[in-house]
Structure 1
């Protein structure tokens, strides 16, 4: 404050004390108060002289006047500038492997990377074959998908630990799209439909040799799968380019957990027919889970006893050993590859026991070696698959980014979210030309990778080498593997998602709203469909956010004794209050949705100025202080009982510390509240407004320049100012503080 303004300010105070009748306490009064003590509020005294009150003065910085056109030009100039150093940084940013691989510590990291890569590769072999069935594809395509994803993420990824490959939920979503398109094209969707991978091999089993294509069911299925994978990858790269990763914030932990659990029920249902050896078409669309179980029970008499016995034996082996692996993971250097052991044993039993010939069991069939020639996605399918790819892309990048950030935080390094979207996008775009389907990070394999000593993504190369060995040499040996074994492997891996029910009591205690979101998303994903369930979950979650702000908590505040802290009078006892002053807190942004809630709560907890004004007018006419007011449009009569004498309530302080932002309706509401209260002689003060709220008030012209003394940086200052205003008006205020009755 300048010397001249301070002199004028002191003069106005002096005139006020001497009894200047023209002085307005709301517009021209600028009292200052000497701070006697930071903790003793009882020392404010009523004297004949006005106590000076020290106001905080902050001078805002001048904002840049750069317009949008200049901003865009500046950004374009910065982006289009090219230099050798900038080009190098761009290449290194796009290929992070160029940064860390030359600095690779061979002695420190190689053992852990090789060990984790081998173990994950061994686990991926049976899972890749099993999840291929879930995606409606031949087993070889699952191996392709895991191989290419491991190589590409090694080049583009920024996380050191996550394992990128096939993921059950995405395989389910791909499978639903594939079966829908197969039905449209008139193909048989029964799982035992014959398939020769869509080509004539001329006596050779090597797919990298020249062959004649005959597009059958399998060929069309992978065409659909690779096309939707290509579109999902394009969406993910576009989201990375335009930096719209914020979309993932709408997928809360409760929503994702509920979605995964609901989709797990659908996966379990889709695999149940393999355990029973039933040949049933996959049900798609709304209510597919219920429809599938109806079909299963209608055909339960056709159960293949050999497949059923095999499934039960595999469950009896896999479930206990999986639990033992988790229970003793701290003592085991590496988890026991139970799935691979079961697959090998089951394949040998099926081959030498001739189970397919004797009992007509469903088997994996011919799995060729080598790689099929690259093929472009079917561009004609894009219009019918573009919408399906949106949900798949969002789920894929949300899971990948969240897992990357979780493990980066755990191990003390950072990841780039946009680069992760690029990485997972290209893990889908490039493999889509090589007969692959959608990939993302997977929690179970990432945990195995981390627990077995993984240090860098070099372990992904080792995993790819294991898969390459299978693709080139070992794959045909799985010819006799029963599909029931693959179904059991898929179901056993759902244990983690189904265990989420155990966390519900704890979630209910922490947040009931999150628990409701979890249940709504889970039930809609399971009973309706995965895509619609995800959409319902997102919409319901956003509705809950709006609901929380529509009915926020409000309270009157009291002063904690011997402090400058204010707390809710309904929550704490023995809080101190000042006669004639009410402090109101609103815990939410103030905008168009909750403006009426703000007004009604404020009027209920303090005083309704509209009713008081109406009562005063009628009392002035009829010379009474209590009157029955008949409200228009209301049948009942409302008796206006003045709960507070207007002469007693002098000031209302609104604590704005919990108001994050204001919109136009919020500013208008504050203006209206202030105008209504001032009409009956009550001043309204705002305290603890954050910069965003202060800017909104300034732009909305809430108060004039000379009325800025109505805004305070703390509730304590506002209360002191209110008391001093009452003293100057000549209102008799007791010197001590009153205790609340709570």
Structure 2
């Protein structure tokens, strides 16, 4: 009895294993079975594989009006709990600040905040050159951005503040509007250091100072207007959940854009290095025009500025290289910029570079805060388009950096809230004479490496900037502008080093490298804003191009297995006899439907349309010949004619298929979706090949593709042909094709 039970158990286990593997279509399962029953069980495997049937779940469709009403009801519902949650979500500081671990976090936050503040002060003063504004406004921007992001940001490590790329975009808008307003005529005179205040020149000096004052206020008004509008765009994007726009800003495109803009920034700063008085070029080709003007005026270079710039760059680059080499041993980064600024200011002040050598200096930087002012709404109409790239670039850099450091440290950020935060970091400071900000990678890396734990470090940095605003700003009066230009140029090292990565980028992915090159060249040679547009359009074109001419693989079987792979990529694959298998590795839609159809016709060696045409032509010729013979042999009796016709039809019927295959199988596992144009092509291929006696089978379709095919009636009325046209795996389709062909051959015999 016990032996019988064991035998029964073994038999059941054997049957379970067999059923499991046969459903998957794995020939490896045959190794578990006795050799003498191999042929019978192979036949069973075929039968079971052909009987696989998956029944889709019935998805209940919800009424669109009901869904919309429910969403509006949830969004517009007002309760005490919901209002509290919305308020806390809007100000994330209320969530994390009560949980602040003082003893654990305070040291790292204070150290990183102090270091960022020390780095921020000279950079803020330097970036004012890019923005075309006085240094005091850059300090305002840095102060307010850190405070606002402390309350609204969800990232613990991102440093939000003045950014070279944003400053460049602001500067281009400011210079254009200042020039259009007519202030450019006195630009050269206003920038000269007027030391002669004799009665003869007093009226001219007073007039020039009034013009300079008006020009400064007009420039600040332009910057505030475009900044406020960019912030409004960002807030609206957050309200309507338009963060998906960043999806179209690919990493190679952003890197190329930053590198091209860095070349423009470097070009703009060269005139300060040489001490040449040049207006900033406007429009397309700024980089080329600026270099032409520089070489035309190279004889006017200020020797003092040139020597100072050379020494400053050598010191800054040397210190940066030493810092990079020994960053593991250094607990904190070297405050090189601050040391250079302090030393250069002292030397310039006591050596009187401004008066003796005519070196251009930062000038008077007032202390305290200027009373707030509402941005000029009339100006917003003029700069509405200019604010768009500012808004997109600002939130793209902020969100990407926030997510990158959140992933590194194991916490989450809310992209929508980040858009709110960076939007209000632009709207509110615009009332306090500030300009556009975003997250900056270099300062964020420093912040992370110096032990930052929370945005308390941002408050510490704001306090450092506040001390400069209240007490130390006038001390930078004698700071040479060439020193500020050197700081900006050295800070571009990271972006300019992307040129060294180009060979590796080309090796990894040529399309991404091409996107980088096109975006970089368009940003540098055309204009910064146009470079962003060209980069986005070219990236989309590359995506469309890759799907318009996708790779279509011809599949062969792996020996002794039921898997099929690309014969152009792998050796020792077995091509199926009388069956051709193809795999499209892209969506099938209107852009690539013709390419797909032509490829199938070419690789199969049979164009069914031509064959149908030949067949129809042959039938017409046959009928014409038969009619002619009928007229000539009118005397023949009916019996002989019928016999002759039957013999001809029998001969035509028994002529074998000479295409070399009887079935086409499409592996659809790599097709994410099919549109109506793609379905029309599939239906046409099915119809045309069927007419010349070749079957077309589909395998591995996703549920969405199956649903599209069903809706288009691909499987016939009421899906009557679904079980004979659609299969779960390629091997199941192969087994079905072989079985159908063998049954057809048996029936003919």
TM-score (norm 1): 0.87
Matched, 1:480 2:478: yes
Question: What is the match of residue 389 of structure 1?
Answer: 387
Question: What is the match of residue 22 of structure 1?
Answer: none
Question: What is the match of residue 174 of structure 2?
Answer: 178
Quote how far apart the aligned CAs of 1:142 are: 0.5
Cα distance between partner residues in 2 of 1:183 and 1:698: 63
Contact 2:25–2:562 (CA under 8 A) maintained in structure 1:
no
Contact 1:290–1:527 (CA under 8 A) maintained in structure 2:
yes
Quote how far apart the aligned CAs of 1:615 are: 3.0
Matched, 1:188 2:200: no
Q: 2:679 aligns with which of 667, 692, 695?
A: 667
**Greater CA drift, 718-727 or 385-394:** 718-727
Quote how far apart the aligned CAs of 1:646 are: 4.1
**Greater CA drift, 219-228 or 712-721:** 712-721
Cα distance between partner residues in 1 of 2:747 and 2:357: 100
What does the per-residue CA deviation read over 1:272-310, in whole Å, with 9 as the maximum and x for residues that have no partner? 000011111100110011111111111111111111111
Contact 1:41–1:562 (CA under 8 A) maintained in structure 2:
no
Q: 1:129 aligns with which of 120, 125, 141?
A: 125
Quote how far apart the aligned CAs of 1:70 are: 1.3
User: How do 1:269-280 residues align onto structure 2 when only pairs under 5 Å count?
Assistant: 269-280=267-278
Contact 1:559–1:576 (CA under 8 A) maintained in structure 2:
yes
SS in 1 for 2:257: helix
Matched, 1:613 2:612: yes
**Greater CA drift, 367-376 or 648-657:** 648-657
Contact 2:257–2:520 (CA under 8 A) maintained in structure 1:
yes
Q: 1:731 to 1:308 in 2, by over 3 A?
A: farther
Matched, 1:58 2:54: yes
What does the per-residue CA deviation read over 1:12-66, in whole Å, with 9 as the maximum and x for residues that have no partner? xxxxxxxxxxxxxxxxxxxxx9759622599778989994544333333333332
Q: 1:38 aligns with which of 22, 26, 39?
A: 26
Cα distance between partner residues in 1 of 2:364 and 2:126: 15
Q: 1:105 to 1:192 in 2, by over 3 A?
A: farther
Q: 1:52 to 1:261 in 2, by over 3 A?
A: closer
Contact 1:195–1:217 (CA under 8 A) maintained in structure 2:
no
Cα distance between partner residues in 2 of 1:579 and 1:54: 19
Matched, 1:489 2:503: no
User: How do 1:127-526 residues align onto structure 2 when only pairs under 5 Å count?
Assistant: 127-188=123-184, 190=187, 193=190, 216-526=214-524
Cα distance between partner residues in 1 of 2:583 and 2:322: 54
Question: What is the match of residue 104 of structure 1?
Answer: 100
**Greater CA drift, 56-65 or 230-239:** 56-65
Contact 1:188–1:217 (CA under 8 A) maintained in structure 2:
no
User: How do 1:582-601 residues align onto structure 2 when only pairs under 5 Å count?
Assistant: 582-601=580-599
Cα distance between partner residues in 2 of 1:191 and 1:251: 40
* Greater C-alpha Rg: 2
Cα distance between partner residues in 1 of 2:541 and 2:562: 37
SS in 2 for 1:581: strand
Q: 1:501 to 1:192 in 2, by over 3 A?
A: farther
Cα distance between partner residues in 1 of 2:296 and 2:471: 42
Quote how far apart the aligned CAs of 1:386 are: 0.4
Cα distance between partner residues in 2 of 1:104 and 1:150: 18
Contact 1:365–1:480 (CA under 8 A) maintained in structure 2:
yes
SS in 2 for 1:193: helix
Q: 1:562 aligns with which of 548, 560, 573?
A: 560
What does the per-residue CA deviation read over 1:568-614, in whole Å, with 9 as the maximum and x for residues that have no partner? 11222221233221111111111111100000111111122112223
Cα distance between partner residues in 1 of 2:55 and 2:24: 26
5+ residue gaps, structure 1, are: 1-32, 197-211, 624-643, 734-742
What does the per-residue CA deviation read over 1:473-530, in whole Å, with 9 as the maximum and x for residues that have no partner? 0000000000000000000000000000111111111110111111100000000000
Q: 1:507 to 1:36 in 2, by over 3 A?
A: closer
Contact 1:195–1:216 (CA under 8 A) maintained in structure 2:
no
What does the per-residue CA deviation read over 1:147-205, in whole Å, with 9 as the maximum and x for residues that have no partner? 00000001000011010001111110110000000011001284773599xxxxxxxxx
Quote how far apart the aligned CAs of 1:381 are: 0.7
Matched, 1:724 2:721: no
Question: What is the match of residue 702 of structure 2?
Answer: 690
Cα distance between partner residues in 1 of 2:45 and 2:23: 16
Contact 1:287–1:527 (CA under 8 A) maintained in structure 2:
yes
Cα distance between partner residues in 2 of 1:502 and 1:214: 43
Quote how far apart the aligned CAs of 1:724 are: 1.2
Cα distance between partner residues in 1 of 2:747 and 2:362: 93
Cα distance between partner residues in 2 of 1:652 and 1:576: 16
Cα distance between partner residues in 2 of 1:85 and 1:646: 76
What does the per-residue CA deviation read over 1:322-366, in whole Å, with 9 as the maximum and x for residues that have no partner? 111122111111011000000000000011111111111100000
Contact 1:654–1:687 (CA under 8 A) maintained in structure 2:
yes
Q: 1:511 to 1:53 in 2, by over 3 A?
A: closer
Question: What is the match of residue 706 of structure 1?
Answer: 720
User: How do 1:19-30 residues align onto structure 2 when only pairs under 5 Å count?
Assistant: none
Matched, 1:651 2:663: yes
TM-score (norm 2): 0.86
Cα distance between partner residues in 2 of 1:59 and 1:424: 49
Contact 1:646–1:680 (CA under 8 A) maintained in structure 2:
no
Quote how far apart the aligned CAs of 1:467 are: 0.3
User: How do 1:571-586 residues align onto structure 2 when only pairs under 5 Å count?
Assistant: 571-586=569-584
Cα distance between partner residues in 1 of 2:578 and 2:279: 76
Cα distance between partner residues in 1 of 2:547 and 2:460: 51
Question: What is the match of residue 692 of structure 2?
Answer: 680
Contact 1:34–1:51 (CA under 8 A) maintained in structure 2:
no
Cα distance between partner residues in 1 of 2:268 and 2:491: 14
Cα distance between partner residues in 2 of 1:702 and 1:170: 54
Q: Which one has a larger percent helix, Structure 1 or Structure 2?
A: 2
Cα distance between partner residues in 2 of 1:333 and 1:192: 48
Quote how far apart the aligned CAs of 1:251 are: 0.7
Q: 1:647 to 1:108 in 2, by over 3 A?
A: same
Cα distance between partner residues in 2 of 1:50 and 1:272: 77
**Greater CA drift, 286-295 or 39-48:** 39-48
Q: 1:672 to 1:54 in 2, by over 3 A?
A: closer
SS in 2 for 1:653: strand
Q: 1:151 to 1:195 in 2, by over 3 A?
A: farther
Q: 1:472 to 1:600 in 2, by over 3 A?
A: same
SS in 1 for 2:500: helix
Question: What is the match of residue 652 of structure 2?
Answer: none
Cα distance between partner residues in 2 of 1:143 and 1:217: 19
Q: 1:343 to 1:261 in 2, by over 3 A?
A: same
Q: 1:574 to 1:358 in 2, by over 3 A?
A: same
Quote how far apart the aligned CAs of 1:619 are: 4.6
Cα distance between partner residues in 1 of 2:710 and 2:548: 25
Contact 2:399–2:418 (CA under 8 A) maintained in structure 1:
yes
Cα distance between partner residues in 1 of 2:476 and 2:598: 71
Cα distance between partner residues in 2 of 1:439 and 1:53: 62
Contact 2:25–2:731 (CA under 8 A) maintained in structure 1:
no
SS in 2 for 1:591: coil
Question: What is the match of residue 730 of structure 2?
Answer: 715
